[in-house]
Amino acid sequence: MTDSSTRRTVLATGAAAALAAGCSKYGNGNDSSGSSSVKASGGQELAKTADIPVGGGKILKAQKVVVTQPKKDEFKAFSAVCTHQGCTVSTIANGTINCPCHGSKFNIADGTVAGGPAPKPLPAEQITVEGNSIHLA
């Protein structure tokens, strides 16, 4: 093999790896394991139940988690990372979790897409409610 063909192979391999990395971040959104984002450690308190309004929720940016209360005493949690291009959601209003980047909206009850361009629901997070504290499971 010549030096120029070796150099082409290395450049082509590097370009393919960079393209694959870019697609995994933006094209696929986050997988349900949450391996691509920072999460609170298991058992860490996320919020007090009194901090989560009925019909609304709270975005915990540091943990990249959204906790909602669709109905009284029913708490849900989802990734706060939009499945469209990885932006962190910023508001909760009128029954939806809203992304500021391109206008995606997700239902507070189940994380499903209420308005695009997001291709997939927000991945659910497992939580437990102990007394008046909400923890990651």
CA 12/CA 3 separation, integer angstroms: 14
Per-residue pLDDT tens, the chain, 137 aa: give them. Answer: 555 444 443 333 343 333 333 333 333 333 333 333 334 445 788 999 999 999 999 999 999 999 999 999 999 999 999 999 999 999 999 999 999 999 999 999 999 999 989 999 999 999 999 999 999 88
- Asked whether 76 and 66 are in contact (CB, 8 A), the reply is no
Given this model, what pLDDT does residue 45 score? 87
pLDDT at position 44? 81
Strand boundaries in the chain, DSSP class E: 45-48, 56-60, 65-71, 74-79, 91-93, 96-98, 105-107, 113-115, 127-130, 133-136
pLDDT of residue 13: 38
pTM for the whole thing? 0.68
